Structure 1
Amino acid sequence: MTELDDLEDNPGPEGQLTLKLVATPQDTNLHGDISAGWVVSQMELAAELAAARLAHGRTATVATSGMDFLCPVRIGSLVQIHTELLETGNSSMRLNVEVWILPPNEKDPNALYKVTEASFVMVALDEKGRIRTLPGQG
């Protein structure tokens, strides 16, 4: 096996690191697991952060794609959320959002595991909450 084959077998995050946090006991569901809802909430926060930078202001989520969860998030995992702009419209942006974790007992600090990814469609809003044109689009 070549070094290139190894890279293809172990892909890494794509896009820009937008949010980095630790999963804590307060983030669990009633069974003590980190819930999918918490993960999705963090993904939306990362999408909002990235979209607001691109829109130079307020944004809102208008759509997300379906997602599959590939591995669980354990308490103490370092959660890294990456965003990548895929396309823009007149007032909208489509971003890919990926969630990767470094489990709490992982000995290799470079061993990241992909949890999920989704596409988020965000729109730029004005100060009254109405859809507005993105900078440079009008």
Structure 2
Amino acid sequence: MNLTDDDKPNPRGQLALQVVPYPSDTNANGDIYAGWLVRQMDVAAATTAGRISKGRNATVAIERMEFLSPLRVGSQVAVYTDLVDIGRSSMKIHVEVWTRDRDRERMRKVTESLIVFVAIDEHGRIREVPQRD
């Protein structure tokens, strides 16, 4: 996760979620909770996994995250997802978070992670992911 790899880095994948954090999403110091951001990432990736698996799925792992830049109240937060790998019942989805502050045009990367999901049936048992077209 090195922003200096490219002069003008761009998000990887497709836009899956956009949201604006509010003051209620901050800690006593006024910083956005990391947990709030992880929740947004999980929601975006779960939506992508649901489309791929054509049904219910569960988060089974979240790979390490590094916070590259701060997330400010009122900024526009964009979560991008990209399918990395698909197994018999699992899906690995790369997730990136980018933000645009209210007073700036340029977007900047906040964090990224790999989230693993498993497709489950209505009883919560693992099921196969349908073949992709």
> Shorter chain as normaliser: what TM range?
over 0.9
Structure 2 counterpart of 1:94, one-letter code: K
Indicate the SS of the match to 2:32.
coil
Structure 2 counterpart of 1:33, one-letter code: D
Deviations along 1:66-121, whole A, 9 cap, x unmatched? 01000010001100000000010000000000000001211x2xx11000000000
Q: Distance in 1 between matches of 2:55 and 2:29?
A: 38
**Identity percentage of aligned residues:** 49
Structure 1 gap ranges (5+): 1-6
Runs (4+) off by over 4 Å: none
Indicate the SS of the match to 1:53.
helix
Structure 2 gap ranges (5+): none
1:134 matched to 2:129: yes
Residue 50 of structure 1 deviates from its aligned partner by 0.4
TM-score by length of structure 2 reads 0.92
**How well do the aligned residues superpose, as a CA RMSD in angstroms?**
1.3
Deviations along 1:35-73, whole A, 9 cap, x unmatched? 111111110111100000000010111011101000010
TM-score by length of structure 1 reads 0.89
Largest Rg, 1 or 2: 1
1:45 matched to 2:27: no
Structure 2 counterpart of 1:92, one-letter code: S
Q: Distance in 1 between matches of 2:79 and 2:46?
A: 12
What is the aligned partner in structure 2 of residue 116 from structure 1?
111
What is the aligned partner in structure 1 of residue 87 from structure 2?
89
1:14 matched to 2:12: yes
Q: Distance in 1 between matches of 2:74 and 2:35?
A: 17
69, 72, 75: which one pairs with 1:74?
72
C-alpha contact (below 8 Å) 1:85/1:94 kept by paired residues:
yes
Structure 2 counterpart of 1:11, one-letter code: P
Residue 31 of structure 1 deviates from its aligned partner by 2.0
Structure 2 counterpart of 1:132, one-letter code: R
Q: Distance in 2 between matches of 1:130 and 1:31?
A: 42
Indicate the SS of the match to 1:39.
helix
30, 33, 40: which one pairs with 2:31?
33
Q: Distance in 1 between matches of 2:52 and 2:20?
A: 26
Number of aligned positions between the proteins: 128
